[in-house]
């Protein structure tokens, strides 16, 4: 028992500086897309509450919570499309390896340049990954319906037309 306590104490002490640094950087490294989505979710998904501060990971993660469960949205904003495609392909393989023969996977029409919706056969959770241009998004949700809905909100913000600058209007 004392060995377990010593190990727990050692892990706590060694991880604290990294946790503090992660908390400090999380305020600075929230992608602009995530900031836009906060407003969208507050308006369109009022029963889902955004957990703050964001957990700073690589990539940043937006965490939403409701009585239906938790939704995690991961943001990868890459330098080019080739990198976004490579991350997408790797994530599809990883999901396949994790779920193995329990995996049920489909491709959805009209969601980005490529996408996959993966879930286990019981339907107890779903992960939807998609990419559009240089952006790769992963939505982990308690159901297929919720994953599709939240991915749709994200996709709408990615493809939303950019407002014209005042100088270009005459």
DSSP 161: P
**CATH no. of 31-160:** 3.40.1000
pTM value? 0.74
Q: Is the pLDDT of residue 7 over 80?
A: no
Question: For 70-123, what is each residue's pLDDT tens digit?
Answer: 999 998 888 899 999 999 999 999 888 887 777 788 899 889 999 999 987 777
DSSP code string of 96-141 = HHHHGGGEEEE--TTSSSEEEEEEETT-S-EEEEEEETTEEEEEEE
Domain ranges, ordered by start, for the chain:
1-30, 31-160
CB 23 within 8 A of CB 56: yes
């Amino acid at each position: 028992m004392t060995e377990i306590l010593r190990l727990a104490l050692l892990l706590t002490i060694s991880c604290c500086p990294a946790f503090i640094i992660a908390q400090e950087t999380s305020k600075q490294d929230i992608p602009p897309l995530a900031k836009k989505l906060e407003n969208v979710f507050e308006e369109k998904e009022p029963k889902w509450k955004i957990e703050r501060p964001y957990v700073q990971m690589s990539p940043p993660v937006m965490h939403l919570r409701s009585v239906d469960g938790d939704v995690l949205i991961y943001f990868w904003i890459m330098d080019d499309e080739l990198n976004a495609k490579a991350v997408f392909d790797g994530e599809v393989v990883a999901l396949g390896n994790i779920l193995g023969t329990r995996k049920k996977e489909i491709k959805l029409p009209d969601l980005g340049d490529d996408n996959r919706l993966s879930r286990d056969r019981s339907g107890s959770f779903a992960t939807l990954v998609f990419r559009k241009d240089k952006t790769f998004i992963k939505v982990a949700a308690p159901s297929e319906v919720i994953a599709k809905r939240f991915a749709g909100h994200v996709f709408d913000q990615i493809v939303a037309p950019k407002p014209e600058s005042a100088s270009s209007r005459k």
